Every structure is written in structure tokens, then in C-alpha cells.
Amino acid sequence: MNMSTISKSPRKVALVALDVGKDALSPYWYLSSPKTFTQPQLFACPVLKEFFKADYRGIAGILADTSSLREAIGLKKVSHWATLQKASRRLLCNATVQRLLDAPKAKTTGKRPPTSGSRSWPCWPIAPITWPWRR
């Protein structure tokens, strides 16, 4: 199901994604996180990315240009596109988010979502950046 057929308003889509994220996710990934962005805010950004059919750089630009979307999500500043990409990869590997993403499929197909162990989204480990030279 295409997200733009559910609602034509990006603000409504962002608010629903933010509410779902608040219900399902803890505010921050780590206790000692810098607390610049919450996990629900970072969850709403890839949802908007899919709504606008943009890439990560595109949604960062859209959020930078649209103050009403930033205010709806509660962003004081726009994150870098790489932050959005890394956060979405990390969030898609979260078991709670997996269940949230599988729930609409169960409603439309009539089948139960798969139990843990099978994922509908690829979940790759995030490797640390290694530099090819020494300082």
C-alpha cells in the first residue's frame, strides 16, 4: 500500500509516525546519547522519505525548507542525511519496529505476520569506519 494513498498531507503522516514512534520506542538509543534527536523523531524522517519518494539527502533538504514539518516532528534543527540513514538502518533492525511494519501487511493480506527470526527488512550490521591510512 502506498503511503501517499493513506493521506495526502505530509504533516498528518509525520504526526502519525511520531505517535507510533513514541509508543514503540524509547526516547534515546543510549542513556548517554547527546539528546539532539529522539528515536521517534528519527523514525518519522524515513517515513516522510518514503512519503515524498526521496532519498536521504532529499528528505534532509525538504525538512530544511519546510518549517511546518520540522515543527510537527519537534525538530529544532535538521539532522545530516547520513544521521538519518544510519538511524533508519538501526531502527529497522529493532524487533518492535519490525512488528509495527509487519502489522499492516497482516491486515491487508489476512495472514499473521512472521514471528521473530524472519525479517521483512534487511538487517545488516553497522561496521565502524576504518581509514585506509594512518595518521
Tens digit of each residue's pLDDT (9 = 90 or more) over 113-135: 454 444 444 554 444 445 565 55
Tens of pLDDT, residue by residue over 20-62, are: 888 888 788 777 777 788 888 988 898 899 899 999 999 999 9
Confidence (pLDDT) at 57? 93
C-alpha cell at 40: 521517534
Q: How far is Cα of residue 77 from the mean position of the Cα atoms in its chain?
A: 17
For the CA atoms of the chain, what is the radius of gyration?
16
C-alpha cell at 88: 533508519
101 three-state secondary structure: helix
**For residue 111, pLDDT beyond 70:** no
| Integer CA distances (angstroms), 129 to 16, 29, 42, 126, 132, in order | 34, 20, 22, 9, 10
Computed over every residue of the chain, the mean pLDDT equals: 75
What pTM was computed for the model? 0.66
Contact residues for 129 (Cβ-Cβ < 8 A; gap 6+): none
